[in-house]
Amino acid sequence: MTCNQRESVGIMTKPKVGIIGLGAIGFEMLKEFHANPDVEIGAVCDANGERARQVAHEFNIPAAYTAYADLLADPAIESVYIGVPPVYHCEIAVAAFAANKHVLCEKPLANSVGETVQMVEAAGKAGKIHAMNFPLNYTTPVREFARLVDEGYLGELRRVEITLQFPDWPRAWQQNDWIGKREQGGFVRETAPHLLQMIQRVFKELPELQYKHTEYPDDPELCERGIVAHFQMKNGALVILRGGSHTAGEQKVELMAFGTKGVLALTNWDDLYGAQGSEPMTLLTSGGEYAQELISQFAAAMRGEPAELYDFTVGHQVQQLLEELLD
Ligand SMILES: NC(=O)c1ccc[n+]([C@@H]2O[C@H](COP(=O)([O-])OP(=O)(O)OC[C@H]3O[C@@H](n4cnc5c(N)ncnc54)[C@H](O)[C@@H]3O)[C@@H](O)[C@H]2O)c1
């Protein structure tokens, strides 16, 4: 096969993706899809039609829709990325499977366990690819964390501590009308799924919730302000989650694992620290890029090749624990 023939085969087989939701994360993902050589953006959709048209124009995308049903009816689109607020994930994903599309969905998978069950069922019935955007799986520090745990760096796991500390909530980069509300927002819904799923990936199990106390402001519309929760791993290791917002102090998101031999900490998403014995912690590696890898894995799955994806079953399992924390 000549180089030109290979290129033309490559172009012909590039799957066309529809991007639904062009807000804080959706627009970042759109730029990543646009930059990825394995896929092509066939259409965009946002409830704000002007936004969809403007983005389609800027990135030379052939179709812009206001209603997701119109994008799903577009036969050129093979798969969709869902980047809308959590209360809309279920209806859009279920409709996408009914329209025979593969789905890459934002976390949390949905807004209730009833919805995640429906989504897993719809995905199975359709026989389409279903994947989550759990970015940490694709970053160098988390891959290194997992590799070190597998190699025995920690010894026996004794304790995991999760810190979710946000002086300001919502954060400056994610201002919208839902993220500060109890219905589908809050720092627990928004950030805990990443770290709970990381525990599942690294330690091959989700811990069992034993105790939680969630503090809410008086206004019943507003999201939680503080949380303390204790879980247990199968070997008895304690998992302690504590977090809060609207206090003094630096923003900090951390997952720290203490073993009999070593300690590892993923700090502020991107930095991996580690220590053996009682040595001081040192920075082992840094880096938060993930989206190109995720999109390439999604594209590989669409080509029928093996791919590292975290599917709706994983999203559902994380949702079960999330809802236990917040109910
Ligand atoms: N994976 C991550 O690291 C990460 C980071 C941030 C947010 N998220 C998740 O991504 C999702 C979106 O978050 P965001 O911060 O971008 O929200 P956002 O409010 O900034 O953006 C949502 C966009 O979806 C559009 N929209 C709303 N309903 C729609 C509908 N029915 N059809 C079409 N468009 C619709 C809105 O007009 C808006 O442009 C949430 O589930 C959030 O939890 C994930």
Neighbours of 74 (CB within 10 A): 17
**Do 49 and 108 have their domain in common?**
yes
How many structural domains comprise the chain? Answer: 2
**Do 151 and 275 have their domain in common?**
yes
**Do 192 and 302 have their domain in common?**
no
Q: 80 alpha carbon to ligand 1 midpoint, in Å?
A: 14
270-284: b or e for each residue (b if 16 or more CB lie within 10 Å)?
bbbbbeeeeeeeeeb
Confirm or reject: Cβ of 47 under 6 Å from ligand 1: yes
**CA 47 to CA 165: how far, in whole Å?**
32
**CA 6 to CA 36: how far, in whole Å?**
18
Confidence (pLDDT) at 28: 98
pLDDT, average across residues 106-114: 98
Instruction: Indicate whether 7 belongs to any domain.
Output: yes
Check pLDDT > 60 for residue 3.
no
Check pLDDT > 70 for residue 11.
no
Reported as a single tens digit per residue, the pLDDT across 185-203 is 999 999 999 999 999 999 9
Confirm or reject: Cβ of 25 under 6 Å from ligand 1: yes
**Do 153 and 238 have their domain in common?**
yes
**Do 279 and 153 have their domain in common?**
yes
Instruction: Indicate whether 301 belongs to any domain.
Output: yes
Check: CB of residue 78 under 8 Å from CB of residue 101.
Answer: yes
Confirm or reject: Cβ of 284 under 6 Å from ligand 1: no
Instruction: Indicate whether 323 belongs to any domain.
Output: no
Instruction: Indicate whether 322 belongs to any domain.
Output: no
Confirm or reject: Cβ of 309 under 6 Å from ligand 1: no
Instruction: Indicate whether 326 belongs to any domain.
Output: no
Confirm or reject: Cβ of 133 under 6 Å from ligand 1: yes
**Do 165 and 108 have their domain in common?**
no
DSSP H helix total and E strand total for the chain: 10, 14
Band the pLDDT of 327: cuts 50, 70, 90.
confident
**Do 79 and 146 have their domain in common?**
no
**Do 123 and 243 have their domain in common?**
no
Q: 89 alpha carbon to ligand 1 midpoint, in Å?
A: 9
Residue 36 is encoded by which pair of tokens?
């990825």
**226-232 and 238-245 strand pairing:** antiparallel
pLDDT, average across residues 129-155: 98
| φ and ψ at residue 147, rounded to 5 degrees | -65, -45
Instruction: Indicate whether 324 belongs to any domain.
Output: no
- Cβ contacts of residue 177 below 8 Å, gap of 6+? none
**Do 26 and 55 have their domain in common?**
yes
**Do 147 and 281 have their domain in common?**
yes
Output the residue whose Cα is nearest ligand 1's atom 39.
23
**Do 69 and 85 have their domain in common?**
yes
Band the pLDDT of 10: cuts 50, 70, 90.
very low
Instruction: Indicate whether 317 belongs to any domain.
Output: no
**Do 302 and 282 have their domain in common?**
no
Domain holding 193, by residue range, is 140-288
CATH for 69: 3.40.50.720
